[in-house]
Amino acid sequence: MKALFIGGTGTISSAISSLAIEKGVELTLLTRSGNGPEGAERLICDVNDEDRAFSVLKGRSFDVVVDFVAFRPEQVERDIRLFQERTGQYIFISSASTYQKPLAHPVITESTPLYNPYWQYARDKIACETLLMAAYRSTAFPVTIVRPSHTYGDCSVPVAIHGAQGSWQVLARMLEGKPVIVHGDGLSLWTFTHNTDFARGFYGLMGNPHAIGEAVHITSDETLTWNAAFAAIGRALGVEPILQHISSDLLSALRPELLGTLLGDKANSVIFDNSKIKRLVPGFFATVRFDEGVRRTVEYVRSHPECQKADPEFDAWCDRVIKAYSSCVRSF
């Protein structure tokens, strides 16, 4: 199998790239940096420079093309022009955040409506999906849409609220005995998927004729409350986390960039029905339990200083919010 990955070095894409090479895929990465795993051909090009990309790809064709870095409709329109005659399958990485918010039913299938008034990122992904399915129906453009949910790997512990530098500062607060903010009462349900599990499901879709014209999500079957997730992170760190519960509405008002990631995503209870990916990829199921996966992630982050990015601005914001919230509660 010959595959082209646009991107290929992120949390999701790096795991898929590694598995594809292990499986013997003839893998080419189109990236701006030229980074990527050993065993992959690297084409250094910014795909947003369409003329340059067309020149770099001239004379090439692939069994599968995957775009990990398309977020807006104009980007998938470009991909349709670039790959209409170059590939037997084009896989678009969408997002489970596209599913209806607020949910009418907590169990999500691929037929759950796509609607998210809280998050522009999700609305852009919905618009991309709409364009791609229209191209499939009108010109047989061979699209497969994949919707990841909260997928994590070795380099960053998955949390709901963090600053611009990622999740390390949340872990640092736990290690220092400081309270960490948990949205709502911490009892909403969430699903975390390890990137190696996601990669196995994804690989089964590559070159799969039954996946053409389909949309499918790939997640773990394990569902946890956020309180349970933080407890697992605390155990991996060897501490008992102090959780400060604050409503998602208030947090979004105090930090507007949380509106999409909370009200448009993580504040909702979700349970994924993975029947479709299991039908398309017989034998697939997630094997990495969250407490096991997050222990591995914590060990990696603690042994790699480059993953420990301090975020004093976010730390100070947490202190201010918790102090103000506690003062308000005491005043009543």
Strand pairing report for 224-225 and 189-190: antiparallel
State residue 331's pLDDT score.
79
CATH number of 2-151+193-218: 3.40.50.720
State residue 315's pLDDT score.
98
The full DSSP string for 288-308 is --HHHHHHHHHHHHHH-GGG-
What's the CATH number of domain 155-191+222-268+289-331, 1.10.3470.10, 3.30.930.10, 3.40.640.10, 3.90.25.10? 3.90.25.10
Contact in structure between 262 and 182 (CB atoms under 8 Å): no
pLDDT in tens, the chain (332 residues): 999 999 877 899 999 999 999 999 999 999 887 677 888 999 999 999 999 999 999 999 999 999 999 999 999 999 999 999 999 999 999 999 999 999 999 899 999 999 999 999 999 999 999 999 999 999 999 999 999 999 999 999 999 999 999 999 999 999 999 999 999 999 999 999 999 999 999 999 999 999 999 999 999 999 999 999 999 999 999 999 999 999 999 999 999 999 999 999 999 999 999 999 999 999 999 999 999 999 999 999 999 999 999 999 999 999 999 999 998 887 77
State residue 35's pLDDT score.
74
State residue 32's pLDDT score.
85
Outline which parts of the chain fall under CATH 3.40.50.720. Answer: 2-151+193-218
The neighbouring-strand residues paired with 29 are 5, 42
Contacts of 99 (CB under 8 A, 6+ apart): 108, 112, 113, 114, 115, 116, 147, 270
